[in-house]
Structure 1
Amino acid sequence: MNLRRRTLLALVLAAGVCRPCVAADPDPSKRMVLVELYTSQGCDMCPTAEEILGKLAAQDSRIVPVAFHVDYFNTPWRDVFSDPLYSRRQATYNEVYAGPKPESYGLYYTPMLMIDGERSVNGRDPAAAVAAIRAARSKPPGVRLDVDLDLAADELSGKVKIRVTRRSARVGKAPLLVCAVLREDGVATDVPSGENAGKTLVARFPARRTEYDDVELKDDLPAAKEFAFTIDPSWKRDKLRLAVFVQDKRTAAVHQAVDLPWKPAAPATGSPAASGR
């Protein structure tokens, strides 16, 4: 659905006892692909796109799915997952995107899929999404990501420690965005008004919490960031996953992503647990 035109916000891409969960590149030469869906419970075309995102994730363990619910369709129904941060993120894609985009509304619409920050496709076009994911997956990752998640004993809070190491000269010395997104999959919401009035919508991988910051890689030395997360006790912990990705702030190209569950790691038997579902 196209946005009823609004003023674009041109912002730079944003900037107890613990038990560890560890994620490292299972094979640093292989790329994980970030698949972002820009969606809204106020858009009658979005439920189809949510289903497609779920199917893509089920079919391909090397994608990292995230649904960012925008806030510009929050009348009359206010999307329970919406956040102006996600609308600003989409607006920034509209500003920096180098590929073709609709003339009248650009990339500021729902449902929209963004593949690794470089390829935008309509969220209801699974064939185009698969082709874009395949193309993104063929590229070597620009950075290596190592992620440690330390959970409190009650698993209601945790700290994520991220280490970023350059793997390709093309990453250069440009500032990078490091982002961690906590999602809860399969959340059902009864929607009483708006374009989806009377429906029960099942959200696939909606962002619950998002933290981000900038890093710069100097020479071949790794850069580190740490974020803290606190969850709502009502969230289903077995459905929570943490997505971590590194992105070029100037071009929005994603250099690598990692996906790990919100739970302590199993007892170590060798290498750190690999990311993936």
Structure 2
Amino acid sequence: MRALLLGFLLLLVQLTTPALADDRRIVVELFTSQGCSSCPKADRFITELAGRDDVIALALHVEYWDYLGWKDEFASEVHSLRQRGYAAAAHSRTIYTPQFIVQGGIINPESFRDGAFAGEVKRLVRLHAGRPEPVRLEVERSGGMLAITVTAGDDAVGPAVIHVVRYMPEQTIRIRGGENAGREITYSNIVTSWKALARWSGRDRMIVKAEAIGSDPIVVLVQADNHGPILAARELR
């Protein structure tokens, strides 16, 4: 009886204790497509990054290659619009896959020659990890709700947007058409939902709530306006 009571109390603690997000991590976004023959090597690299404790790796599948003969089931116009936003911020009209973004910054396209992007991405991760976060971000999950608290640091950062992202950890797809026809590819950290939750002034402390239904991991990030730098990010798995 005492053992049963202890077990019940432990379960009650697990159900009522809020889950706190992981410590600081660097965000690496990959714009990719199942219909892109140049993407599988980048997709494998995202799988490698997904296993690191200091990185939040996010694969955003785009739909603009679907016309080549294979419809990417993970693709979303939301992802393409985000990629176009990055291009506009860099005063460019060009979007392409694969494309890596590290902490909100576009990496030099020249690094994609001969598949050398991995070294450049890792270098930028180290660079950003060595810098202090300009804002404080706390994320707490209790039941089906998130409580997100953003606090300004010592330096002014300007207006920013709080984003909430959900992703699927892994799925293997057999591709039967398009440029990758006949290949079986495993994709990792596949973004399934990306929502701009709220705008933040960059000055006052702000607390916002968001739904957190389901078991898929959650990422909360604070990004400077107009697809600027990612100021802070946290992950709940």
- TM-score tier after normalising by the smaller chain length: 0.7 to 0.9
Is 1:161 matched with 2:147? yes
Question: What SS is found at the alignment partner of 2:53?
Answer: coil
Q: Secondary structure at the match of 1:51?
A: helix
Within the candidate set 52, 55, 58, 1:63 is matched to: 55
Aligned residues: 217
1:197 and 2:184 aligned:
no
Shift of 1:161: 2.2
The TM-score normalised by the length of structure 1 is: 0.71
Say if 2:170 and 2:188, in contact at 8 Å, map to a contact too. Answer: yes
Q: Give the match for residue 109 of structure 1.
A: 96
- What's the CA shift for 1:46? 1.1
Counterparts in 2 of 1:71-82, with a 5 A limit? 71-75=63-67, 76-82=69-75
Q: TM-score if structure 2 supplies the norm length?
A: 0.83
Q: Secondary structure at the match of 1:77?
A: coil
CA–CA distance in 2 between the matches of 1:47 and 1:164?
36
Structure 2 unaligned regions, length at least 5: 1-14
Match of residue 15 from structure 1: none
Q: Distance in 2 between matches of 1:190 and 1:19?
A: 41
Question: Does residue 170 of the first structure (1) align with residue 162 of the second (2)?
Answer: no
Question: Is 1:39 matched up with 2:22?
Answer: no
Unaligned regions of 5+ residues in structure 1, if any?
Answer: 1-17, 152-157, 232-236, 262-277
Aligned position for 1:222: 205
Relative to structure 1, is the Cα distance of residues 187 and 165 closer, same or farther in structure 2, using a 3 angstrom cutoff? same
User: Corresponding residue for 2:234?
Assistant: 258
CA apart distance, 1:25: 6.3
Deviation, structure 1 residue 19? 5.2
Contact 1:150 1:160 in 2 (8 A): yes
> CA offsets per residue over residues 21-73 of structure 1, 9 Å max, x none?
522564xxxx5211001000110111110111121232x31111111111111
Percentage of pairs with the same residue: 25
Q: Distance in 1 between matches of 2:177 and 2:154?
A: 49
The answer on 1:249 being equivalent to 2:221 is: no
Mark the CA change 1:96 to 1:218 in structure 2 (over 3 Å): closer, same or farther. Answer: closer
Which amino acid is the alignment partner of residue 162 of structure 1? I
Give the CA deviation at 1:167.
1.6
Partners of 1:119 and 1:132 within 8 A in 2: no
Change (3 A) 1:23 1:217: farther
- Alignment RMSD, CA only? 2.2
Instruction: Give the aligned residue type for 1:228.
Output: E
Query: Which AA in structure 2 matches 1:187?
Result: Q
Higher fraction of helix: 2
CA distance in 2, matches of 1:246, 1:199: 37
Amino acid corresponding to residue 57 of structure 1 in structure 2: A
Rg larger in 1 or in 2?
2
Residue 86 of structure 1, CA deviation: 0.5
Q: In the superposition, relative to structure 1, how do residues 72 and 20 fare at CA in structure 2: closer, same or farther (>3 Å)?
A: farther
Aligned match of 1:8: none
